[in-house]
């Protein structure tokens, strides 16, 4: 085992930090026996081969991937099992789950819909949902914000009913089961209608064999869903109430006390967050709350949960928004500790229970005495997808240089530095997906940053370069552009403290701070440094908090 060939210093540092108590005592005794202990080279330590032999199975070599960067990754899924989030949702305390793209929303949905035997739960993925069809089902008798509440209540009721009909102990000969089955068969051609077909018919047919709800004392023979029908909302409400009443009886018959519906991927394919889509999202949230409230005291409790990107939620405005935010919302927030736990779970699952971050990476510091973990996190928005993406890129670089199988493979500084450029491109694409629905010309600002060339800059400098590069259809002023980019943590601002120091404020680390219109010193998030071709230039007196780096 030749440690005199090439730079093995990081591997030797790794050996020293991962040695057990007995090995460290032996190393210390060996150093002290040396004529010049401070100059003793660990590469000459007699016990080194034995220690490396013990540690080698714990190193990076078995690691094929840190996981899929998508939120569906098993590492995220397994991590959530140890958090209060799962119990809060199961207890019916949560109506809305918020998080940035990549924060783990879909992983939670998977847990409830795939990993829970005996749980009556259904995931409703709206990635291919016919939003344009639903847009035509507005209730013209109410204001625009409430226009889609009844259509969503109806959709929720149909999904609950379909889930009950699929129960293995269902008796399809009961009156309630027959009514639901007849209604589904006549209007949808089967007992399990597709989510995208629920609101597609222009008219829903009713009969004595299915349901005959009444409106103002008159039985309904059908419900017209077209926007031109001024009574559509009242009629659909009556039908939904009849469905939920049948669900209550049917659930009691089969012993189902709780049904969970998980609405996910509401942002898939979203290009513009226009008023129609905003009202549709508001309608879903309000409808979910109403169904949850009205069934809370029933034998069958219906628990719809909406999983939504934080930026989309912040773009909605309706009367009860604050009540929902304060009382029925779960925010998926991550920090260094929870992300470390997540990655360690993944490492243990692949390499073994004795392995962790310390056994797969060298303890050698990055430039400026920064630990590798801190260096990586500074480039993320503190969400699993970012960390996993960065580590997968670094892993590929480490594997590529793995030529000497006698030397343990670990993540070294060169792998971390080498991963930054490709990761920076990934982060830009992630931001593009988030920002485009709100502002399609955001790259005008990126071009201005590239021209400024430094990570930190003055607002006046940005105003000049941004105006030079504004696209024809771009209506945002320089100050509006910076404020919008702050919302997505593309930029942060310098905040002075009362003690003569300062720190960098980014929305993702300090959401309560808000944007400061008087800010003059600004900073581009370090994760975009490579893709925007920026160099570091620290503002005098500013520390390294909030998206900064060494």
pLDDT of amino acid 548: 44
Number of Cβ within a 10 Å radius of residue 440? 15
Which conformational region is residue 189 in: left (phi greater than 0), alpha (psi within -120 to 50 degrees), or beta?
Answer: left
Sign of CA dihedral 220, 279, 324, 80: positive
Token pair for 217: 């004392």
Token pair for 448: 């201005």
Number of Cβ within a 10 Å radius of residue 257? 11
Q: Are 522 and 458 in contact (CB under 8 A)?
A: yes
Token pair for 12: 């030797």
Which residue, 520, 512, 526, is CA-closest to 495? 520
Enumerate the domain spans of the chain: 9-65+352-421, 126-308, 439-528
Which residue, 251, 72, 104, 232, is CA-closest to 166? 251
Q: Are 416 and 366 in contact (CB under 8 A)?
A: yes
pLDDT of amino acid 5: 52
- H or E stretch including 284? helix 275-294
Only one residue has tokens 């005592």, namely 25
Mean pLDDT by 10 residues, the chain (550 residues): 66 92 93 86 90 93 82 64 83 94 87 75 93 92 92 97 93 93 96 95 92 84 77 88 94 92 92 92 97 93 96 92 93 92 90 95 92 97 94 97 89 97 97 94 97 96 97 96 97 86 92 92 97 75 43
Q: Which three-class secondary structure state does DSSP give residue 454?
A: strand
Q: At what angle do helices 459-469 and 443-452 cross, to 10 degrees?
A: 120
Which residue, 487, 485, 493, is CA-closest to 457? 493
Token pair for 358: 């310390």
d(CA 68, CA 389): 8
pLDDT of amino acid 231: 67
DSSP secondary structure of 311-328: HHHHT---TTHHHHHHHS
Token pair for 20: 């057990």
**E strand intervals along 438-543:** 456-458, 491-496, 502-505, 521-524
Q: Is 389 exposed, middle or buried (0-12, 13-18, 19+ CB in 10 A)?
A: buried
Which residue, 231, 44, 268, is CA-closest to 140? 231
Which residue, 540, 545, 543, 460, is CA-closest to 506? 545
d(CA 374, CA 370): 7
- H or E stretch including 411? none
d(CA 423, CA 179): 55
Q: Are 102 and 71 in contact (CB under 8 A)?
A: yes
d(CA 532, CA 424): 9
Q: Are 536 and 455 in contact (CB under 8 A)?
A: yes
d(CA 493, CA 458): 10
């Amino acid at each position: 085992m030749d440690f005199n060939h090439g730079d093995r210093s990081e591997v030797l540092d790794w050996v020293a930090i991962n040695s057990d108590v007995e090995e460290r005592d032996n190393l210390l005794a060996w150093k002290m026996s040396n004529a010049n202990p401070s100059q003793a080279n660990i590469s000459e330590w007699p016990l080194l081969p034995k220690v490396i032999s013990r540690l080698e199975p714990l190193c990076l070599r078995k690691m094929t991937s840190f996981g899929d960067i998508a939120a569906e990754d098993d590492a995220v899924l397994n991590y959530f099992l140890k958090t209060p989030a799962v119990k809060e949702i199961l207890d019916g305390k949560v109506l809305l789950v918020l998080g940035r793209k990549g924060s783990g929303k879909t992983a939670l949905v998977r847990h409830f819909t795939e990993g829970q035997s005996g749980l009556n739960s259904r995931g409703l993925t709206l990635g291919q949902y016919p939003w344009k069809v639903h847009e035509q089902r507005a209730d013209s008798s109410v204001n625009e914000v409430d226009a889609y509440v009844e259509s969503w209540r109806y959709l929720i009721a149909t999904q609950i009913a379909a889930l009950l009909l699929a129960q293995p102990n269902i008796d399809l000969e009961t009156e309630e089961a027959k009514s639901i089955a007849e209604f589904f068969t006549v209007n949808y051609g089967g007992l399990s209608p597709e989510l995208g077909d629920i609101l597609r018919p222009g008219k829903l047919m009713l009969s004595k064999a299915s349901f005959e709800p009444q409106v103002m004392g008159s039985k309904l023979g059908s419900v017209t869903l077209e926007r031109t029908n001024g009574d559509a909302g009242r009629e659909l409400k009556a039908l939904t109430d009849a469905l939920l009443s049948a669900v209550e009886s049917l659930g009691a018959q089969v012993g189902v006390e709780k049904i969970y519906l998980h609405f996910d991927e509401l942002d898939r394919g979203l290009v513009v967050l226009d008023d129609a889509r905003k009202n549709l999202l508001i309608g879903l949230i309000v409808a979910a709350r109403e169904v949850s409230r009205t069934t809370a005291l029933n034998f069958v409790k219906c628990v719809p949960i909406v999983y939504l990107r934080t930026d989309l939620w912040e773009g909605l405005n309706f009367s009860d928004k604050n009540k929902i935010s304060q009382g029925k919302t779960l925010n998926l927030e991550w920090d260094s500790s929870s992300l470390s736990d997540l990655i360690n779970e993944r490492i243990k699952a692949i390499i073994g229970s004795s392995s962790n971050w310390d056994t797969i990476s060298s303890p050698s510091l990055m430039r400026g005495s920064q630990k590798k973990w801190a260096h990586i996190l500074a480039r993320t928005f503190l969400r699993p997808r970012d960390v996993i993406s960065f580590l997968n890129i670094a892993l590929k670089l480490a594997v590529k240089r793995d030529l000497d199988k006698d030397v343990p493979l670990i993540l070294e500084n060169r792998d971390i530095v080498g991963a930054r450029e490709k990761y920076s491109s990934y982060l830009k694409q992630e931001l593009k997906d988030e920002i485009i629905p709100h502002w399609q010309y955001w790259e005008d600002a990126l071009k201005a940053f590239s021209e400024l060339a430094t990570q930190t800059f003055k607002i006046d400098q940005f105003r000049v370069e941004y105006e030079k590069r504004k696209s024809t259809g771009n209506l945002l002023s320089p100050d509006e552009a910076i404020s919008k980019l702050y919302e997505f943590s593309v930029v942060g601002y310098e905040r002075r403290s009362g003690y003569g120091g300062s720190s960098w404020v980014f929305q993702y680390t300090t959401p309560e701070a808000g944007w400061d219109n008087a800010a003059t010193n600004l900073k581009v998030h370090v994760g975009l440094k490579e893709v925007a071709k920026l160099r570091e230039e620290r503002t005098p007196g500013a520390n390294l908090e909030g998206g900064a780096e060494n």
